[in-house]
Structure 1
Amino acid sequence: MTTTVPAVFAFHEFAGVAEAVADHVVHAQNHALAKGSKDGKLSSSNNLNGEKDVSRVSSTRSVSNVSKDKKGKKEKEVRFKIALSGGSLIQVLHEGLLKRDDVQWGKWDIYFADERLVPFESDESNLGQAKRKIFDLVDVEKYGKPRVFHINEKLISDPQECADNYEKVLIKGFAGRDSVKLPMFDLLLLGCAPDGHIASLFPNFQENLREKLAWVIPVEKAPSGPSNRISLTIPVICHSHRVTFVVEGATKAPVVKTIMERPEKGLPSSIVNEGAAGRVSWFVDDDALTDVFVTKKKYKFCCDA
């Protein structure tokens, strides 16, 4: 593995991380919903690292809710497709997004990078946590209601069936009647645990990091936390238009040091840094970078609310 270095934005405290991540998300939202040219390509704009970026061709990119093809037929509604993980990331989004007035919630399609196979009312459920701390607090009359795509709660006793079912949800959302190799999220947000796992992909655990074909996999007998889970795979994560890690706290510093300074160790985050090179950003507080040798960038706010 090469020493691919992602963009690392550091802040003195949690509030700074939350504010910048929210701006980063809104910028990704605006870019995804931006007006397309006649040939379907988005015009050039600044990407999330302040550099010029020309996005891919996509029939779902248009300034209006519903675009039309050359024959005047209605095409798919323009949506911002985002995937979230759980844990402290949800609190970061709670702190940063809910106070903004430029989040177009009604145009969001929200998926989950992973899920713990527990009832939704459990504090360990990513959906449950996101619902209580974010979705239930959105003023839907003012901003619209996001579409949230989650696992089937009735299948949590069977990890394989639950993973297969959620993969079908992704296929319907990203492929429809077309054939696509992998889904492409506009933005995928991840945390990183002290043990190095991202989503529900654990270091040196089973063969999960080597999965090449499936979009969603079952994770059974996980080393920590709820035993059974489902997770997006490394190819899906790396195929995202933008991948963003949000990490805070001194307890994360040792694993961040390994990720940034010893990529050859093959931690999941290091694999993503390499596989999605040029599209990966890290938002961290100073505590998470304790004794970590890495070049920090100053985040330039793009979408002040």
Structure 2
Amino acid sequence: MSTPAPHDPLVVVHPDAGTLAQAAAARLLTRLLDVQSVRSPVHVVLTGGTVGIRTLAAVADSPLRGAVDWSAVHLWWGDERFLPDGDPDRNATQARAALLDTLVADSGLPPAHVHEMPAPGTVVDGATVTTPEESAAAYATELARYGDPLPRFDVLLLGMGPDGHVASLFPGHEALGAAGVAVGVHGSPKPPPERVSLTFDAVRRAREVWVVAAGAEKSAQAAAALARGPVAEVPAAGATGSERTLWLLDAAAAGATAPSRG
């Protein structure tokens, strides 16, 4: 099979979720090293979820971690639960425990390069964040400090839910069509109901988008997204990179999806 064009997704299937997380971590570290050989700084968007956090933990354990110049890496999030700072259900809290605290402590990652979506009660530029919309606006302002209107993300990681959602963009939800860079989300079908998410406009500006998913319960939506189903029904179908779109799946999530080679 020929190498996919940049707008066509490359599908890579691993035998199980554990192997998927290890492989995604190795791929991410290799990508960081490749990018740092040609430009700096590097901007990466992290995701939460079981496989996303397992991937970060695998990065922490990898011997390749020490080869990356973490002082020139900026870390962002695709979405966040609008919960108090330090809440164990926040993606940032889990990411810090799995990897980021280690990078700050012994790998030279500057704390200022960890760009969390503001939690309720956070004071930003003298104003207290009280709503998801205020958090989204503050995050858009932070992103604009590194690009116009945001940096070109080198890698944007996304998980996918069994309903096909990515970030906090859910099927049939009004946030799917949000303009701008970030959006406040209310009435999420998955708890908690209030969230903050990058928009599809922001996602699609990334050079590479990687969708990482495991589990048989996700196979139908993975197949539908790869078949370019309607974004309103299968939001993951709208998650595409400007240069490359990569789907990293375990065998259960892949189901009947045939892997591409490239």
Query: TM bucket by the smaller chain?
Result: 0.7 to 0.9
Distance across 1 between alignment mates of 2:228 and 2:181:
28
Q: 2:152 aligns with which of 138, 160, 184?
A: 184
Q: How far did 1:12 drift?
A: 0.7
Distance across 1 between alignment mates of 2:203 and 2:227:
22
Q: How far did 1:123 drift?
A: 2.2
* Alignment correspondent of 1:164: 137
* Superposed CA offset, 1:170-200 (max 9, x none): 111x23xxxx244310110000001111111
Q: TM-score, normalised by structure 1?
A: 0.73
Q: How far did 1:101 drift?
A: 2.6
Distance across 2 between alignment mates of 1:265 and 1:242:
19
* Alignment correspondent of 2:238: 271
Matches within 5 A, 1:1-305: 5-35=8-38, 61=39, 78-103=40-65, 104=68, 105-138=70-103, 140-141=105-106, 143-146=107-110, 147-153=113-119, 154-155=121-122, 157-172=130-145, 174-175=146-147, 180-206=148-174, 208-212=175-179, 214-261=180-227, 263-264=229-230, 266=232, 267-273=234-240, 276=241, 279-290=244-255, 292=256, 294-297=257-260
Structure having the larger proportion of residues in helix: 2
Distance across 1 between alignment mates of 2:150 and 2:117:
19
Distance across 1 between alignment mates of 2:15 and 2:202:
32
The alignment of Structure 1 onto Structure 2 pairs a total of residues equal to: 243
Identity of aligned residues (%): 26
Distance across 2 between alignment mates of 1:165 and 1:116:
15
Q: How far did 1:295 drift?
A: 2.6
Distance across 2 between alignment mates of 1:82 and 1:243:
10
Distance across 1 between alignment mates of 2:228 and 2:144:
35
* Alignment correspondent of 1:73: none
The amino acid across from 1:295 in the alignment is A
Distance across 2 between alignment mates of 1:130 and 1:263:
31
| Residue ranges of structure 2 left out of the alignment (5+ in a row) | 1-6, 123-128
Q: What root-mean-square deviation, in Å, do the aligned CA atoms of Structure 1 and Structure 2 show?
A: 2.1
Q: Report if the CA contact (8 A) 1:93-1:134 is conserved.
A: no
Aligned to 2:64, what secondary structure does the other structure show? coil
The amino acid across from 2:253 in the alignment is A
More divergent stretch after superposition (249-258 vs 125-134) = 249-258
Q: CA 1:122/1:158 → structure 2, altered by over 3 Å: closer, same or farther? A: same
* Superposed CA offset, 1:267-305 (max 9, x none): 2211224xx365100111001122x3x331468xxxxxx
Q: Report if the CA contact (8 A) 2:21-2:51 is conserved.
A: no
* Alignment correspondent of 2:125: none
| Residue ranges of structure 1 left out of the alignment (5+ in a row) | 36-60, 62-77, 300-305
Aligned to 2:61, what secondary structure does the other structure show? coil
Aligned to 1:98, what secondary structure does the other structure show? helix
Distance across 2 between alignment mates of 1:25 and 1:128:
20
Distance across 1 between alignment mates of 2:242 and 2:92:
29
Runs of 4+ in 1 over 4 A off after TM superposition: none
* Superposed CA offset, 1:3-43 (max 9, x none): x64111001112321222112211221222114xxxxxxxx
Q: How far did 1:252 drift?
A: 1.2
* Superposed CA offset, 1:232-278 (max 9, x none): 110110110110011011121122122223524642211224xx365
Distance across 2 between alignment mates of 1:15 and 1:95:
11
More divergent stretch after superposition (15-24 vs 148-157) = 148-157
Aligned to 1:133, what secondary structure does the other structure show? helix
Which structure has the larger Rg?
A: 1
The amino acid across from 2:109 in the alignment is K
